[in-house]
Amino acid sequence: MTKTESFTSRWGLLIAALGMAVGTGNIWRFPRIVANNGGGAFLIPWMIFLFLWAIPLLIVEMAMGRHTRKGVIGAFGRLMGRQATWMGAFVGWCTMAITFYYSVVAGWCVKYLIAAATGELSGVEGMAYWDGFQATVWQPLFFHFVAMAACALILYRGVVAGIERASKVLIPALFVLLMVAAVRALTLPAAEGAAGPMAGLEFLFNPNWSDLLNYEIWLQALTQSAWSTGAGWGLMVTYAVYSHKKDDIVGTAMTIGLGNNSASMLAALAIIPTVFAVLPLAEAQSVLRDSGPASTGLSFIWVPTLFGEIPGGQFFMTLFFLALVVAAFSSMIAMLELGVRIFMDFGMTRRRAVTSVAGGSAVLGIPSAINLSVFANQDAVWGIGLMVSGLFFAIAVGKFGVARFREELIEPANNDIPVGRWFDFAIKVLVPLQFTVLIVWWLYQAATSGEAWWNPFGVFTLGTCLFQWGVVLLIFYLANNRMAAATLGDEPAAG
């Protein structure tokens, strides 16, 4: 039996995990979500949920991966018993289904980086350029394949020479790029009639306390916190397989969470003051809220237009899209590795597993690359599916025994920060409660949206989510025993 590769150190694991967490969602999604949800007031629930949802789930994932030494399917099978491998398969599928279209976004970033660097984006009207790019069809497809191939090449090299080495370059580079962009944004001169970059700071950091009574802000904060940190995706399970026996779990999970949110804040400081430096107040607020087709608004429609109007615009636009490419690649590597680890657990070599996962993902991403409605549908279905994934992790720990999980799987590690009984409360009560509130709210919204909510072929309907989740869950439930045998062999259940 071949030995599993390991990161060279705790530092290697940490930097790879930061790469996993910090993705396009920090740069592309976060500034828009803040703007749409009250600016400063949003930051309070967003930080609360970092500690109540994301960090406890990251701790669970790390402990599961390190204890079971299996990818997400085998990890559920080993922890809960062979009959539960289907739950791990659902978690893995959710993340892989996101990977299919995430590669399309990474491809857009590559295309825009090249266009910014060559001056093709300078002085263009953002929406017209976007429409022209999408209308070619072959270009989104081509760049989707480029992004997939680039990540596959890194993964071929393995955990240390591939993932760890790439992360050690990409993550520091990303933070430096974001810092430079933020400093530039804050020192921009105000254009004629514009509010100026300091108005962006006022917008971002002046909370209207009454906004905290709006339940939607809390729900959006939970959603952003859950999706942006990668908690509940199974990605940390995968990376923890390559960790050392005594590596700190609690400190690593907290560093990932705080590092991810720090990157989001840097991205907001790079974008929001730029918008206010170029546009008058009301227009700036409206631009920040414009989600555009398939939520592309701020990054792919407005950034080319706005950066065209600032001094040194081409240089800083290139910097911005370089940061987006780096963030996209560092996360996509982790997402593909989740599939690779599962296939390696089934007995494949790394090279075959990478070829199968990257090749399959490239093919399954084609519909999203050529049709934005498919893209938006997949984004909604599997993005929301991650809530179910998070719940599955809480159920897995609940079945194993929350206190036993903490005492046997977390506390023996060299934790710089001790995990207290708060962890038991978070996993037993808070995570299921947050899931219930969020899912009930979403069901209510979906069922009262006016669209034919039951339609299984709608773009954003409740019916399409339930239909696609149902099909996937049924297939994995029926294939449970075969997956358990392929991943776990004849070993007995749990613990």
Partner 1 sequence: MQATTVIFMVLVLGVLWGGFAALLACSMRAERRRSSGAAGSPNAGGNGD
- Rounded to whole angstroms, the Cα distance separating 423 from 6 reads 27
Is 10 an interacting residue with respect to partner 1 (CB under 8 A)?
A: yes
**Options 142-150, 199-207, 271-279, 306-314: segment touching partner 1 (CB under 8 A):** 199-207
Is 262 an interacting residue with respect to partner 1 (CB under 8 A)?
A: yes
Q: Please say whether the beta carbons of 454 and 461 come within 8 A.
A: yes
Binding to partner 1 by CB under 8 A, coded x per residue (else -) over 350-389, reads: ----------------------------------------
Is 11 an interacting residue with respect to partner 1 (CB under 8 A)?
A: yes
Is 37 an interacting residue with respect to partner 1 (CB under 8 A)?
A: no
Q: Please say whether the beta carbons of 243 and 404 come within 8 A.
A: no
Choose between 269 and 484: whose C-beta lies nearer to partner 1.
269
Q: Please say whether the beta carbons of 116 and 314 come within 8 A.
A: yes
Is 68 an interacting residue with respect to partner 1 (CB under 8 A)?
A: no
Is 411 an interacting residue with respect to partner 1 (CB under 8 A)?
A: no
> 136: buried, middle or exposed (CB in 10 Å: 19+, 13-18, 0-12)?
exposed
Q: How many residues does the chain have?
A: 495
Is 187 an interacting residue with respect to partner 1 (CB under 8 A)?
A: no
Is 190 an interacting residue with respect to partner 1 (CB under 8 A)?
A: no
Of the candidates 108, 124, 118, 114, which has an alpha carbon nearest to the alpha carbon of residue 307?
124
Is 164 an interacting residue with respect to partner 1 (CB under 8 A)?
A: no
Tokens at 35, concatenated = 């703007």
- Go through 384-396 and write b for each residue having 16 or more CB atoms within 10 A of its CB, e for each that does not: bbbbbbbbbbbbb
Q: Which of 207, 308, 398, 432 binds partner 1 (CB under 8 A)?
A: 207
Choose between 5 and 283: whose C-beta lies nearer to partner 1.
5
Q: Please say whether the beta carbons of 167 and 330 come within 8 A.
A: yes
Is 161 an interacting residue with respect to partner 1 (CB under 8 A)?
A: no
- Go through 98-127 and write b for each residue having 16 or more CB atoms within 10 A of its CB, e for each that does not: bbbbbbbbbbbbbbbbbbbbeeebeeeebb
- Rounded to whole angstroms, the Cα distance separating 326 from 228 reads 16
Is 449 an interacting residue with respect to partner 1 (CB under 8 A)?
A: no
**Options 5-13, 147-155, 221-229, 436-444: segment touching partner 1 (CB under 8 A):** 5-13
Q: Please say whether the beta carbons of 109 and 325 come within 8 A.
A: yes
Is 261 an interacting residue with respect to partner 1 (CB under 8 A)?
A: yes
How many angstroms separate the Cα of 214 from the Cα of each of 42, 209, 219, 226, 344? 10, 10, 9, 19, 46
Tokens at 359, concatenated = 């090749």
Q: Which of 32, 66, 67, 78 binds partner 1 (CB under 8 A)?
A: 66
Choose between 182 and 380: whose C-beta lies nearer to partner 1.
182
Is 43 an interacting residue with respect to partner 1 (CB under 8 A)?
A: yes
Is 247 an interacting residue with respect to partner 1 (CB under 8 A)?
A: yes
Is 78 an interacting residue with respect to partner 1 (CB under 8 A)?
A: no
Choose between 11 and 444: whose C-beta lies nearer to partner 1.
11
Q: How far is the CB of 264 from partner 1 (least distance, A)?
A: 9
Q: How far is the CB of 350 from partner 1 (least distance, A)?
A: 16
Residue 375, helix vs strand vs coil:
helix
Using CB under 8 A, list all residues that contact partner 1.
Answer: 3-6, 8-11, 14, 40, 43, 47, 66, 69, 198, 201-202, 204-207, 241-248, 251-252, 254-255, 258-259, 261-262, 265, 414, 416
